Amino acid sequence: MGFTFPYNPFSGPNLLVPLVMFGWIPIVLYLFSRLPAQRAVVLSFLVAWLFLPQAERLIPGLPNYTKTSATCYGIMLATFVFDVGRFSTFRFGWLDIPMAIWCFICPLASSLTNDLGLYDGVAATLDKTMTWGAPYFLGRIYLNTLGGLRQLAVGIFIGGLVYVPLCLFESRFSPQLHRIVYGGHAFADFSQAMRLGGFRPTVFMQHGLAVGAFMMAATLIGIWLWQTNVLKRVWNVPMAWLVAVMFLTFILLRSTGALGLFALGIAILFIAKQFRTALPVYLVIGAIVIYLYINAETRVYFTDQLIGYLSEILPPDRVGSLEFRFNNEELLVDRARERLIFGWGGWGRSRVLLDPYGPQYTVQDSLWIIAFGENGTVGLASLFSAMLMPIVALFGLRYPAWKWTNPKVAPAAVLAIVVMLYMVDCILNAMINPIYILAVGGIAGLVMTPQRSAQEAGVRLSPTPRRALVQSQ
């Protein structure tokens, strides 16, 4: 049927794969016909990301057809059919500049400066626009209010609850659900699913690390929504019980990196609640910027000292994994500096051949080194600015830390923290998740939308009304 599993070329999809992939667009249309627009957008992205297969179909001259592109196509079509006036609400603003550079200027400039031709540049632009620009744009026009971001935060938490039994199943029996349902494993290297004497679930995502990051986000969001009284019950079950089950499941995922990010997120939220300051957020973002600058723009290598320090507090297998990543990154950075401004473009040109007599290349594990190698300093700066500037603007211009506990503001605040933690994870991994891009678009839209009332500003806000499914007060 033309679909392949990009992470596992040794197993082929069954007939269910094209059925659900092509059938997803009419399902999205149905959701828009039956649900409010914001809820339909959130549900479309979450269900697609959590349950559609890790499969893609190559389309010459167009972005590959994946579950992300299928969702974006479906929502765009549904907007034309049911809500065409929504497009006219978009106003290009200053926070949109980095994403525009990342999606439109970087891929075209990288191709042209490497003599890859205009066709390659246009194809790369379309691919990057569908992967990054489309979810961001949809977040801008649909989730640019506190209510829209609340829908997304609650949706992520409920998505995590739905994933709990699936994660527990794979923790016990190994990652098999993708193979059982769709005919092939989501990831080729099964050994990476074995960690700390057990199995690390993959479910229907591209890797166990992606599952760990998502469940970290769902757990952190659940704790904050519970502590700020945004939610008290879901499915008529007290939030305390649900958060406890979610946290225990998250621990069983055996993802040490996600555990570290979770601890950092809890510390940031605790400090904000107790001391009413967002200083830790700015320190973390500053640390990201300094790390990228030192590694990309200078010839200072401090990874050996970092590995020596981490070897005293982390298990040997985790230290070995980090050392492998850092050693590869040093080679990749030296290669990227040869095309410092716009990088090497696509087709693996930014990679380094390790064995001149065989196809052994350096491994590009982290998103930052991929962006730097393919699109240079301009690409690296625009990508991280697009994802982090809206967070700084949200907390610096709209909602300082003393407002984060307000039930109206709390979902937007914790979503911003989750996106920041995701960008910390991108220093080590390259798990692109459209849900976080959707959230950033909503945050950017919220910041650039003029404040119309005290209620929108989060001053003396009344509690959210009760819902039959999700109860607030």
Interval 400-450: pLDDT, tens: 999 999 999 999 999 999 999 999 999 989 899 999 999 999 999 999 988
The answer to whether residue 21 sits within a structural domain is yes
Q: At what angle do helices 37-51 and 434-448 cross, to 10 degrees?
A: 160
pLDDT surpasses 90 at 314: no
State yes or no: pLDDT of 220 exceeds 80: yes
> How high is the pLDDT of residue 42?
97
Q: Mean pLDDT over all residues of the chain?
A: 88
Has residue 331 got a pLDDT over 70?
yes
Report yes or no on 401 lying in a domain: yes
pLDDT tops 60 at residue 261: yes
Number of domains observed in the structure of the chain: 1
Domain containing 207: what range?
3-289+368-471
Residue 306 lies in a domain: no
Residue 363 clears pLDDT 70, i.e. is over it = yes
Mean pLDDT over 365-372 rounds to: 92
pLDDT at residue 248 tops 50: yes
Tell if the pTM clears 0.85, that is, is over it. Answer: yes
pLDDT score recorded for residue 89: 93
Q: Would 172 be classed as within a structural domain?
A: yes
Q: Could you tell me the pLDDT band of residue 157, with boundaries at 50, 70 and 90? A: very high
